[in-house]
């Protein structure tokens, strides 16, 4: 089974090493990891570069049976938007999606200026902030749950290069479901 390895690790200085480590974990569990920086079988051509990257990642997604997403907050209170797109795209194809975050806090707690107004939580601009105790926006967690996937978060913050929760997601996929991650 081919697994798309979504996440903002592609922006880290050691992206290739992290991708290789994730692919090795997949292989140990009898799965094939596909990292976004891997060249696809047929590399799209033509300018501009960002369109080629988009097309290459869509080819990767189409060729995978499942996805594991690193949903650790990236450049803000929530997950990397490209990762969230990839998760939604795979869910739209009807494929299982799994996720993990290295941040133990619920989504609302990651909005530092959030204040309770007596009815709901609001940010500095007065906009409502979700408060369901979830690790991410309810649509992301809902997509994962609807696909039979798992969303894992630690008890304490983890560094970017920690692959413990990633491997737990891979074990769940290899075992055919939720029970391996629990």
pLDDT at 177: 56
Segments in the chain forming alpha helices (H)? 15-28, 49-62, 81-92, 138-146, 164-174
- For the ranges 117-121, 135-139, 140-144, 175-179, the lowest mean pLDDT is seen at 175-179
Residue whose token pair is 């055919």 = 176
Cβ atoms of 22 and 6 within 8 Å: the answer is no
Confidence band for 109, pLDDT divided at 50, 70 and 90 = very high
Cβ atoms of 104 and 154 within 8 Å: the answer is yes
Q: How many CB atoms lie under 10 A from the CB of residue 171?
A: 16
Query: Does pLDDT of 8 surpass 80?
Result: yes
């Amino acid at each position: 089974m081919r697994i798309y390895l979504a996440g903002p690790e592609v922006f880290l200085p050691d992206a290739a090493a992290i991708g290789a480590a994730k692919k090795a974990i997949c292989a140990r569990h009898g799965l094939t990891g596909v990292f976004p920086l891997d060249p696809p079988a047929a590399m799209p051509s033509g300018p501009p570069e960002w369109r080629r990257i988009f097309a290459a990642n869509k080819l990767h997604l189409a060729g995978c049976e499942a996805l594991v997403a690193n949903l650790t907050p990236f450049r803000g209170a929530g997950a990397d938007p490209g990762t969230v797109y990839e998760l939604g795209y795979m869910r739209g194809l009807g494929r299982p999606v799994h996720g993990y975050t290295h941040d133990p806090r619920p989504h609302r707690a990651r909005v530092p200026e959030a204040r309770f107004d007596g009815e709901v939580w609001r940010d500095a601009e007065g906009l409502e902030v979700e408060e369901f105790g979830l690790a991410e926006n309810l649509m992301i967690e809902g997509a994962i749950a609807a696909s039979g996937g798992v969303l894992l978060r630690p008890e304490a913050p983890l560094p970017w290069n920690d692959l413990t929760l990633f491997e737990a997601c891979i074990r769940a996929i290899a075992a055919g479901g939720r029970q391996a991650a629990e």
